[in-house]
Amino acid sequence: MIRVDYSEPSSAEWKQWKAAQAAQAAKARDAFKAGDPPPEVGDPIDEDRKAEIREAFHRKCAFCEAPITIKKPGNVRRYRPPSQVYDIDGNRVRITAGDLKFLHPGYFWLANEPSNLLYTCSGCAPKDERKRDCFPVLGDEYGWPPGKENDEVRLLFHPIDDDPEQFLNLDGGSGILVGADERAQVSIEVLGLNREELRDVRSKTFAKVSALLESVCNANPSKPDQATFINGTLDTIVSSSKPSHPYSFVYRSALKKYRPRIKPLLDELLALASRRRQPRP
């Protein structure tokens, strides 16, 4: 899981849809303040808007980085659940407001706010509502009424607003993600980021990249053919570590591990290139 290099869609159709959703959210919020029950939130996101969101997330899951394909299609997941909220133990969240206690109705006013719409794989947006609508906050101190949600201390990483990579470590051999703080640990648990299929693909990818980097480290940069191999292999791996590439965190983790051994090679390549460019006396 990394910070997504995200740019909100900018088509005229998107802007029109966004304005309409904002107007509906304001109307629902005002009606709720006047005593009406929370509105039912369905799935009003049309396929064209979903496609724009999918492209904004580079056709990969916003959480686990799995590629979105025809065989493994994803869908839009709302970061803050719009119609009900569960805590990490699978219990419906209750709000206390003065003398009143009631079930959290969900963040209905944020349902289709663009920053609340993430494109994810089916594994990170499970059908089980206790997992899909789980939104833990520190101390179970949920912001209320609507508009106070920014007072919450979120325990689930947001892939646009947060930088999860700073708080996650990868055990390359097992493919297991290890959280360095509470938010990272909670995010791993809630999203199932250590489920078997992810561990398997991460461990295999890490092994493949490590083998390539090991070959790079054992190459002789003074030999032209091996220098070409070093440059070409590193270019490929660095390109795969870019935020738009599936499982980029694995590539970054492997590069981080091998960086102390790679740097002298690159320094030697630069020195050799500099000597070749010097004019002969």
DSSP state letters, 74-122: -EEEESS-SS--B-TTS-B-EEEETTEEEE----GGGTT-GGGEEEE-G
277 pLDDT higher than 60: no
Residues 188 and 207 reside in one and the same domain: no
Query: Which domain-ending residue is among 194, 223, 255?
Result: 194
Residues 164 and 205 reside in one and the same domain: no
Top-ranked range on mean pLDDT: pick from 9-13, 18-22, 225-229: 9-13
In this prediction, residue 252 carries a pLDDT of 94
| 1 part of a folded domain | no
At residue 32, the 3 state secondary structure works out as helix
pTM of the predicted model, to two decimals? 0.89
In this prediction, residue 275 carries a pLDDT of 59
Tens digit of each residue's pLDDT (9 = 90 or more) over 69-126 = 878 889 999 999 998 999 999 999 999 888 888 999 999 999 999 999 999 999 998 8
At residue 171, the 3 state secondary structure works out as strand
In this prediction, residue 42 carries a pLDDT of 55
Residues 25 and 123 reside in one and the same domain: yes
Question: Quick one: tokens of 249?
Answer: 């965190």
In this prediction, residue 72 carries a pLDDT of 85
How far apart CA 246 and CA 235 sit, in angstroms, is: 16
| 7 part of a folded domain | no
Positive or negative torsion for Cα 235, 209, 70, 82: negative
Residues 254 and 202 reside in one and the same domain: yes
In this prediction, residue 272 carries a pLDDT of 62
How far apart CA 237 and CA 233 sit, in angstroms, is: 6
254 pLDDT higher than 90: yes
Q: Give the residue with greater pLDDT, 254 vs 38.
A: 254
Residues 246 and 227 reside in one and the same domain: yes
Which of 213, 195, 218 has its CA nearest to residue 253?
213
Residues 60 and 190 reside in one and the same domain: yes
In this prediction, residue 43 carries a pLDDT of 56
12 pLDDT higher than 70: yes
39 pLDDT higher than 80: no
Q: At what angle do helices 12-33 and 47-56 cross, to 10 degrees?
A: 110
Query: Which domain-ending residue is among 194, 226, 252?
Result: 194
CA distances from 4 to 14, 86, 165, 195, 249 (A): 20, 25, 10, 21, 11
Tens digit of each residue's pLDDT (9 = 90 or more) over 166-202 = 999 999 999 999 999 999 999 999 999 999 999 999 9
Residues 134 and 258 reside in one and the same domain: no
Which of 201, 203, 162, 199 has its CA nearest to residue 184?
162
| Structural domain of 72 | 12-194
Positive or negative torsion for Cα 217, 219, 222, 226: negative
| 145 part of a folded domain | yes
Residues 160 and 229 reside in one and the same domain: no
| 4 part of a folded domain | no
Residues 247 and 161 reside in one and the same domain: no
How far apart CA 40 and CA 28 sit, in angstroms, is: 10
Query: Which domain-ending residue is among 194, 226, 260?
Result: 194
Q: Which amino acid is at 100?
A: L
